[in-house]
Every structure is written in C-alpha cells, then in structure tokens.
C-alpha cells in the first residue's frame, strides 16, 4: 500500500504540475500571493499560511449542544436556521464571522429515536441558496436536501421524514446546494444527527461525541477563502477542531470504558485517528453498529465518514497522551502532505471515581449480507488536469444537473465497482441508501472485506478499486459524489434515477 501510494504520488508530482499551472493560469482570475508562490515553485505548497496566533486550547471537551424537541414522544419537531453569526474565537480580538445553524458551530446536535416522525422548519438567512442534506439518512428524495431542491435566500421549507426501524446511527447534516457546498460547509454549516434505538446493546456505556472539523483562518482571524491549492487538493486549515474547540482536554480513568461517536466533518482531510496506549474497539460505522466488536489500533476516517468506538483507558508511562491524527498521504498535488502527528485532543488520566467499566457484548447487531446483485455497474474516477472546467470526473464526465447517469429500480440489489484512475484519494458518498463494501484492492490485489458493515462513504485510494453492494429502497434522483467538497463542487458527482 505504502509503496504503491508513494509511486502514484510521485507520478502525480512528475506529470501534473505544468498542466496544473496552465489550467489554473487560464481559469483563475483571483489568485492570492500564496497561489502565485505555489505556481512559481512547483507543486508542493507550504502548509496553510501561519496566522500568527493560536486558538485557546486545553479546555475541557465541550459536548455539542442539543436541538430541543418541541414535540412529545414519537415526533421530533424543531426549527433550524442558517445565518451569519459572529463567534468570539480569540479573546480580545474581533469576533470571527461564520455561517452557522442556529448561531452554533458545529450546529445544534439532533437526537431522535427510530420510528420518530421528524419535522424540521428550515429558514435560509444567507444571501445565497442553500439546502440541508441529511447525510446518510434514509429519507425520501425530495427531503434529502439535494441540489435540485434549493431554498432561496429568505426562503423557508420543512424537511419531513420518518426514521425507519434499524436506522439507529450517527448521521450529520450539511448544505448541498449546486456548486456552493464547500464554501457553506467551511463557513461553519454542519451539525450531527444521532438516531437512537430502544434496543441498544451499548446503552449502558456513557457516550462522548467528537465532531472533527477544519478551520482555516486569515491573519485577521476571519475565515479564509479557498486558495488555488485548496480548490485542487481539497481545503485544509490550520486548526482541526473537536466539537468546535481546538485541542480540547478529554479526561478518562484507568479501565474506564466509553462509547465515542466520531465524525469526520472536514472538507478534505483523511484522518488516521490513533489514541496510543488505550484500547479501541470498533463497534459502528456510518450506518450504525457492526455485527461484532473489532479491536483496532487506528481509525481511518475520510471526509463525511463516521465511526463508533469503545475506548478503554489504559495509561502507560512514556506514551503520548492524546487523540492523534497520524500522517496520511492522500496524493495531493499542490500542497504538502501531512508529515507529523496532529494532536486532536489531549487525554488526561482522571482519578478513579464512579467510572463505568461494563463489558462490551460480543454480538451487537444482526447484519445480513446483501444477496447476489441483479445489476452491475462500473464507475471510473479520474482527474483531467488539462481542463479547468472538467477536472474531476466520474466515467469521464463532470456533473450535469439535468443528466441521470444511470437508471435503477427500487428493491434491486446492485454491485458497484469504483475504479480509481486518479492520483489522489477520493472518498465516495452515495445518497438515498447505505451500502456494504464487499472487497477492495490493496496494491491492485483484491481482498475481501473482513466484516460486514453499513456505510455511506468509502475512500477510494489513488489507483485502487472498491466493490460494494447496495439496494435503493426509495425511488427518485440520487446523487453520488466525492466527499472532498471542493471536488464535489467542481463536478465530481453523478446521479442515478431510481424508478419505483
Ligand atoms: Cu475527490
């Protein structure tokens, strides 16, 4: 894996910079100094410019604030609005202008139960159209917040759907308007949506949520615009936040067990999360619990992806104490790859108190493999550095709002093979359904997936392939796309029309 990745990155570096420079020189009218520096000195750009200050750090991890339910049991009714919001990031400095749901970054967390009827009244107080996409959630196509259903500035709409049985999972919501998703998300619009089950085998464990997002500031402490490198490689900022806080403090006692839900809500980072010394057990993926716990040493989460892990405190002398993002090379062409660990949160040993060390059951959920497919599709993911208007492609095409790339039938099992002919990793997300990865290549060699899991995002590493099975249950026009939001906005997206 490492060797192949190195070779493909090296090839990308050797082949693309000149074309890149030409393409961007032709297409970019508004380049920052950094862009010019990047163009003049080859493909490897410096990290995001230092802002000259740090954010406050080391404060106890804040829990995401909840969106209050205005209804009784069986329903979840609330109001959500997207609007500019000034938040004081830096003591003594001017507030930073975000775009936020209900004035919060991340947006308010929604917690509902399987079976609930959800009714969210949404108001758009931005000066551009937006939508609310319920990422991963089983909702009807006209409630999914796709680009075909924009909410105009000052517009209002209700999102209504019922949460089916077996839908308990860690979802999230974010804008999905045509061409504007990346900017709206990096301005601060994203929140989490947790669906709970009344039969939850891990209900006895205390939960802690880690919503990972990326913040790129300019020297005035305001949210920076995308650079040319951001638009190509996907935006990364100077700060990776956890629940809106930079390097917060998590305390855990020796032997204490806790259920973590982790969201990668960054625009483009592939996070290789490690918590050295402590025991980690993977218990859930995008689509909720897996069949049986899997001991892991790391958690690879690509943009849009979620995981649930049970952490058990194991403090050992000499181990770095913290939640880390290990270096991961994703084939960037214009910016430097991550070479060092990033500290996401500090971890401190708490005194033994009323800690929970209850065991994790050996069986968590019944997941049946999807049967043999009735339909097989191939999706080739590629990059064309020579065409500024069609740089990121699926089956050779850039996104067209008026073109369904495939037609499917509700209830049929499909097998999709995602084939990367690209130099970068592209995390692939499908709307309207969840899927089971059945096999992936590693250095070009197919390997069967070791366990069943429901997902809605899967990373397709540069030059590799992924095979998955899915079954659309709901008719409609469904999007699939790269979840590096700058790539999605640049057209690495397609649609399948699912007929009843
Ligand atoms: Cu991509």
| 85 Cα: distance to centroid of ligand 1 (angstroms) | 29
- What is the separation of C-alpha 136 from the centre of its chain, rounded to a whole number of angstroms? 11
| 243 Cα: distance to centroid of ligand 1 (angstroms) | 25
Domains of the chain: 2-40 (no CATH), 75-196 (2.60.40.420), 207-350 (2.60.40.420), 375-499 (2.60.40.420)
In the block, tokens 């850039």 appear at 398
**What is the rounded end-to-end Cα distance, in angstroms, of the chain?**
41
| Structure token pair of residue 7 | 């070779």
b/e code 370-386 from CB counts within 10 Å (16+ = b)? beebeeeeebbbbbbbe
| 446 Cα: distance to centroid of ligand 1 (angstroms) | 22
| 337 Cα: distance to centroid of ligand 1 (angstroms) | 16
What does the pLDDT read at residue 48? 63
Beta-carbon contacts of 29 under 8 Å, excluding residues fewer than 6 positions away, are none
Per DSSP, the three-state class of 423 is coil
8 Å CB contact between 380 and 421 = yes
| 385 Cα: distance to centroid of ligand 1 (angstroms) | 13
In the block, tokens 């209050």 appear at 68
Strand order in the sheet with 271-274: 249-253, 342-350, 322-326, 271-274, 299-301
Give the Cα separation of 429 and 480 in Å (integer). Answer: 6
Q: Cα dihedral sign for 271, 31, 396, 481? A: positive
Give the Cα separation of 171 and 194 in Å (integer). Answer: 6
User: How much is the pTM?
Assistant: 0.91
- Quick one: DSSP state of residue 387? -
8 Å CB contact between 285 and 240 = no
| 286 Cα: distance to centroid of ligand 1 (angstroms) | 19
| 219 Cα: distance to centroid of ligand 1 (angstroms) | 28
Helix, strand and coil in the chain, % to nearest 5: 10, 40, 50
8 Å CB contact between 149 and 99 = no
| 391 Cα: distance to centroid of ligand 1 (angstroms) | 10
- What is the separation of C-alpha 381 from the centre of its chain, rounded to a whole number of angstroms? 19
| 362 Cα: distance to centroid of ligand 1 (angstroms) | 36
| 394 Cα: distance to centroid of ligand 1 (angstroms) | 10
| 134 Cα: distance to centroid of ligand 1 (angstroms) | 20
Q: Vertex 59, ends 56 and 64: CA angle to 5°? A: 105
| 487 Cα: distance to centroid of ligand 1 (angstroms) | 5
Task: Give, for all 500 residues of the chain, the pLDDT tens digit.
Answer: 343 443 343 333 333 333 333 333 333 333 333 333 333 333 344 456 678 888 999 999 999 999 999 999 999 999 999 999 999 887 777 899 999 999 999 999 999 999 999 999 999 999 999 999 999 999 999 999 999 999 999 999 999 999 999 999 999 999 999 999 999 999 999 999 999 999 999 999 999 999 999 999 998 899 999 999 999 999 999 999 999 999 999 999 999 999 999 999 999 999 999 999 999 999 999 999 999 999 999 999 999 999 999 999 999 888 777 999 999 999 999 999 999 999 999 999 988 766 777 889 999 999 999 999 999 999 999 999 888 888 999 999 999 999 999 999 999 999 999 999 999 999 999 999 999 999 999 999 999 999 999 999 999 999 999 999 999 999 999 999 999 999 999 999 999 999 99
For ligand 1, a single-atom ion, the residues with CB < 5 A are 426, 482, 484, 487
| 88 Cα: distance to centroid of ligand 1 (angstroms) | 32
| Structure token pair of residue 304 | 């849009």
| 9 Cα: distance to centroid of ligand 1 (angstroms) | 15
8 Å CB contact between 106 and 214 = no
Output the CA–CA distances (angstroms, integers) from residue 244 to 169, 175, 234, in the order listed. Answer: 21, 18, 20
């Amino acid at each position: 894996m490492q060797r192949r990745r190195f070779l493909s990155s090296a090839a990308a570096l050797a082949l693309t910079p000149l074309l890149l420079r030409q393409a961007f020189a032709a297409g970019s009218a508004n380049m920052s100094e950094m862009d010019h520096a990047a163009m003049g000195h080859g493909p490897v750009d410096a990290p995001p410019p230092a802002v000259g200050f740090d954010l406050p750090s080391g404060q106890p991890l804040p829990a995401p604030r909840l969106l209050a339910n205005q209804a009784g049991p069986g329903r979840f009714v609330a109001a959500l609005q997207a609007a500019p919001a000034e938040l004081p990031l830096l003591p003594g400095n001017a507030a930073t202008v975000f775009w936020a749901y209900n004035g919060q970054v991340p947006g308010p967390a929604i917690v509902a139960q399987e079976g609930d009827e959800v009714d969210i009244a949404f108001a758009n107080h931005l000066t551009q159209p937006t939508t609310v996409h319920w990422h991963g959630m089983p909702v009807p196509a006209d409630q999914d917040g796709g680009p075909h259903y924009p909410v105009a500035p000052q517009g209002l709409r209700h999102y209504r759907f019922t949460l089916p049985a077996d839908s308990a999972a860690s979802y999230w919501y974010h804008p999905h308007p045509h061409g504007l998703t990346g900017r709206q998300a990096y301005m601060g619009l994203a929140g989490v949506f947790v669906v709970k089950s009344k039969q939850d085998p891990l209900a006895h464990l205390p939960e802690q949520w880690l919503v990972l997002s990326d913040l790129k500031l300019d020297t005035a402490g305001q949210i920076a615009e995308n650079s040319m490198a951001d638009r190509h490689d996907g935006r990364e900022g100077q700060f990776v936040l956890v629940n809106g806080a930079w390097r917060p403090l998590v305390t855990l006692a020796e032997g204490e067990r806790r259920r973590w839900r982790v969201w990668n809500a960054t625009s483009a980072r592939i996070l290789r999360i490690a918590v050295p010394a402590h025991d980690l057990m993977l218990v859930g993926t995008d689509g909720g619990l897996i069949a049986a716990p899997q001991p892991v040493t790391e958690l690879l989460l690509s943009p849009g992806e979620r995981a649930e892990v049970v952490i058990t405190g194991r403090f050992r002398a000499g181990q770095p104490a913290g939640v880390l993002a290990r270096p991961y090379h994703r084939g960037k062409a214009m910016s430097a790859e991550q070479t060092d660990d990033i500290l996401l949160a500090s971890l401190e040993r708490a005194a033994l108190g009323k800690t929970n060390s209850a065991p994790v059951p050996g069986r968590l959920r019944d997941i049946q493999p999807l049967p043999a497919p009735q339909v097989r599709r191939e999706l080739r993911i590629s990059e064309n550095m020579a065409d500024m208007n069609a740089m990121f492609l699926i089956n050779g095409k850039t996104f067209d709002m008026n073109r369904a790339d495939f037609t499917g039938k509700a209830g049929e099992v499909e097998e999709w093979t995602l084939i990367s002919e690209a130099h970068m990793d592209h995390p692939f997300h499908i709307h309207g359904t969840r899927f089971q990865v059945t096999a992936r290549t590693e250095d070009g060699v197919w390997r069967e997936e070791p366990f069943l899991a429901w997902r809605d995002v899967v990373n397709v590493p540069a030059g590799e392939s992924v095979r998955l099975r899915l079954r659309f249950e709901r008719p409609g026009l469904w999007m699939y796309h790269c979840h590096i939001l700058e790539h999605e906005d640049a057209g690495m997206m397609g649609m399948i029309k699912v007929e009843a």
